[in-house]
Structure 1
Amino acid sequence: MAEFDFSQAIGALRSKYDTIAGAVDLDALRTQIKELEQEASAPGLWDDPENAQKVTSRLSAAESQLKRIESAGSRIDDVETLVELGREEDDADTLAEAQDEVGNLDKDLSDIEIQTLLDGEYDERAAVITIRSGAGGVDAADWAQMLLRMYLRWAERHGYKHKVMDTSYAEEAGIKSATFQIDEPYAYGKLSVEGGTHRLVRISPFDNQGRRQTSFAAVEVVPLVEATDHIDIPDTDLRVDTYCSSGPGGQGVNTTYSAVRLTHLPTGIVVTMQDERSQIQNRAAAMQVLQSRLLVLKHEEEAKKKKELAGDIKASWGDQMRSYVLHPYQMVKDLRTGYETSQTQAVFDGEIDEFIDAGIRWRHQQRREAAKNAE
């Protein structure tokens, strides 16, 4: 067996590390951590628990990323020293330990590299996944349930918090659809590459003649849009008109400028309020109603954007992104990236990280090419 080439392996590790460090910009990351530390230590931070949670979560994620990258750099130096020591003492055990560490480092750097590619607008969000059975009858419903189990097992393997939010069961077997949430940072960035049509080829367990059946299921992945229970409205976005109230209420109401009309200039929404005797009270009430209307509008816009992000997934021939073949051979193959494996049962048990990583790299390459073509 050929001797392991430590010089080439360590050189490759350093090259990968330098690429990651350049992509992340470690100085900018350290600056971000300092700024987040100042926010986290500010008096009254927890007066707004939702914002405080965001700040502390971002700080924790940034610190973890920096520590992981710096640790990898130190480990490369350490393994190089270990190789020198093993060669000086002609110690096979030390060199074997160094070779194992090179393998571990390469895997860890690949994981870090994948994280650096999750730079989309919504990539850091939690994910909501919906699986729908497509063409293929009862086999498709069973296939949709198999996919649900696969993704839930993947989440369990990583210790990700998850919950099934809705399930619609089919009449004979399987499910018509299911929606579940994975509440983990970057869950959307990782799982968004799983969106599309998944095709299964197998001997149908529901066919008494044992014929081969092809069935389809659609996987839709959208980011969990953060709920907002308050809308800040800058004064510059408002036109405030006051006028005399009309209707019953007595002389004071009808002769003073207590009624208020608020116009939200960006949207054109108009709210009037004249029930209260005081202009201040009417303005406060009108602001409350305006905020409620803007909140509804925001949610509608978010729902529209999530639909655009999810895309139009038909779950039929011609648009499948991955094939799972159990007969006449065993193979799972991603039709976009070309990644494949014959370990079908492992895939169904949630071992899909290689497919996800390949999908993330493929998507990044697609974005780079699109940006280049747009120049």
Structure 2
Amino acid sequence: MASEYEDQIDRLRFTFNEVTKVVDPHALREKVADLTRQSADPELWSDQAHAQEVNSALARAQSQLKRLTAMHGRLEDLGALLEMAEETREEDPDTSRELIAQFESEAAGADETLQALHVQTLLSGKYDERSAVVTIRSGAGGVDAADFAQMLQRMYLRWVERHHDEFSATVLDTSYAEEAGIKSTTFQVDGAYAYGNLSVEAGTHRLVRISPFDNQSRRQTSFAAVEVIPLIEQTDHIDVPESDIRIDVFRSSGPGGQSVNTTDSAVRITHLPTGIVVSMQDEKSQIQNRAAAMRVLQSRLLALKQEEEAREKKELAGDIKASWGDQMRSYVLQPYQMVKDLRTGFESGNTTAVFDGEIDGFINAGIRWRATGERAVN
């Protein structure tokens, strides 16, 4: 048995070494030290764009280093646990068994964390390190679709809460449906690699269930679209001429049209050349809402630019077939319980946990599939 546990530690250490080949802790420490020196420079904020870039890079590097350092410590602790279990095996069998049980539990947790860290090494896209702007829109299915859109919003916000040491979320705008649910919502997820993680969630999601809004209790299929774009940074220089936009102001409102603001502080920006519309009412002042709306508009224009460049590359390569289908995931609550990603093959029978934010398996499988074409084996 001791040999089996030693092999388990060796496998964990091998995976950790594979991660550190990509994300070198020594290089990270030097990067953190350099960025810390830059952030302490009193002259840094004379250039706000550069200061923002430095502080964002420092936060990302510190977060990565913290995860790697913690994992190194966990692996050392596992080795110590196994040594103590072996030393007490003959003299105190009960204590030895307790230590082995603790080892098994800690090793399982370490393995799960390491697999997630390993998947993160596959995030090498140009904007993967960025914060993310997520927009969810209800689709076909009437009031069920609006309710589904709100369920998805809660799912992603709960996922952020589960990773509170890595990410934070801010709801920027929500348009409520008349009967129940939401027509659309936009929220920002801040943290290192928020976009890289959540970008695999983009696409059409489908829900099948007995409708709680149907007095005949019939089964209903509804759809919601999830859009994920990287948050624009000032260094990206996406110029939006004033002549290309129309700005409307109005009063913020909550569910049911209840007034939550007595001034015209909410802002709607329409980008005339593309027809993109961004609404913002989360901030207290019109100036703040306008600035937030402009950042989201610039992010969407950046995403549009990326899509155009990707299409051009595919056409040059002679392959114009879309790699992502219209429907990427199904959430079935009736006649059986199953959430399944149709691209990766990853699935879960615990639908309650999924809607409560337990979606790491889907995200990791999506990242691995996108990078390698590997489908999940549950």
Listed as ranges, the matches of 1:1-375 within 5 Å are 5-90=4-89, 91-159=96-164, 160-227=167-234, 303-309=300-306, 319-366=326-373
In the alignment, the residues of structure 2 paired with residue 79 and residue 146 of structure 1 have an alpha-carbon distance, to the nearest angstrom, of 39
Cα pair 1:222 1:309 within 8 Å, conserved: no
Instruction: Give the TM-score of the pair, scaled to structure 1.
Output: 0.69
**Deviation (angstroms), 1:22:** 0.8
Q: 1:300 to 1:7 in 2, by over 3 A?
A: closer
Cα pair 2:231 2:296 within 8 Å, conserved: no
In the alignment, the residues of structure 2 paired with residue 88 and residue 325 of structure 1 have an alpha-carbon distance, to the nearest angstrom, of 51
**Deviation (angstroms), 1:48:** 3.2
Which residue identity is paired with 1:93? E
**Deviation (angstroms), 1:20:** 0.3
* More divergent stretch after superposition (177-186 vs 333-342): 177-186
Cα pair 1:221 1:310 within 8 Å, conserved: no
Q: Deviations over 1:328-369 (max 9, x none)?
A: 0011111112111111112112222221122122222149xx
Q: Which runs of 5+ in 1 are unaligned?
A: 232-297, 313-317, 368-375
Cα pair 2:63 2:192 within 8 Å, conserved: no
* More divergent stretch after superposition (21-30 vs 199-208): 21-30
In the alignment, the residues of structure 1 paired with residue 296 and residue 131 of structure 2 have an alpha-carbon distance, to the nearest angstrom, of 17
In the alignment, the residues of structure 1 paired with residue 193 and residue 356 of structure 2 have an alpha-carbon distance, to the nearest angstrom, of 21
**Deviation (angstroms), 1:299:** 10
Q: Deviations over 1:53-106 (max 9, x none)?
A: 432342243234234324423432342233123213202222223223222321
Which residue identity is paired with 1:51? H
Q: Deviations over 1:10-49 (max 9, x none)?
A: 1210110111011113443344334324423445223334
Partner residue of 1:249? none
**Deviation (angstroms), 1:310:** 7.1
Partner residue of 2:242? none
In the alignment, the residues of structure 2 paired with residue 175 and residue 301 of structure 1 have an alpha-carbon distance, to the nearest angstrom, of 24
Which residue identity is paired with 2:123? L
Q: What SS does the aligned partner of 1:5 have?
A: helix
Cα pair 1:142 1:175 within 8 Å, conserved: yes
Cα pair 1:122 1:189 within 8 Å, conserved: yes
Aligned length: 295
Q: Deviations over 1:218-258 (max 9, x none)?
A: 10011110246999xxxxxxxxxxxxxxxxxxxxxxxxxxx
**Deviation (angstroms), 1:202:** 0.8
In the alignment, the residues of structure 2 paired with residue 158 and residue 92 of structure 1 have an alpha-carbon distance, to the nearest angstrom, of 32
Identity of aligned residues (%): 56
**Deviation (angstroms), 1:326:** 0.7
Q: 1:310 to 1:210 in 2, by over 3 A?
A: farther
**Deviation (angstroms), 1:154:** 2.2
Q: What SS does the aligned partner of 1:329 have?
A: coil
In the alignment, the residues of structure 2 paired with residue 299 and residue 348 of structure 1 have an alpha-carbon distance, to the nearest angstrom, of 26
Q: 1:93 to 1:169 in 2, by over 3 A?
A: closer
**Deviation (angstroms), 1:121:** 1.2
Q: 1:220 to 1:80 in 2, by over 3 A?
A: same
In the alignment, the residues of structure 2 paired with residue 203 and residue 187 of structure 1 have an alpha-carbon distance, to the nearest angstrom, of 34
Q: Which runs of 5+ in 2 are unaligned?
A: 90-95, 239-294, 312-324
Q: What SS does the aligned partner of 2:124 have?
A: coil
Q: 1:85 to 1:230 in 2, by over 3 A?
A: closer
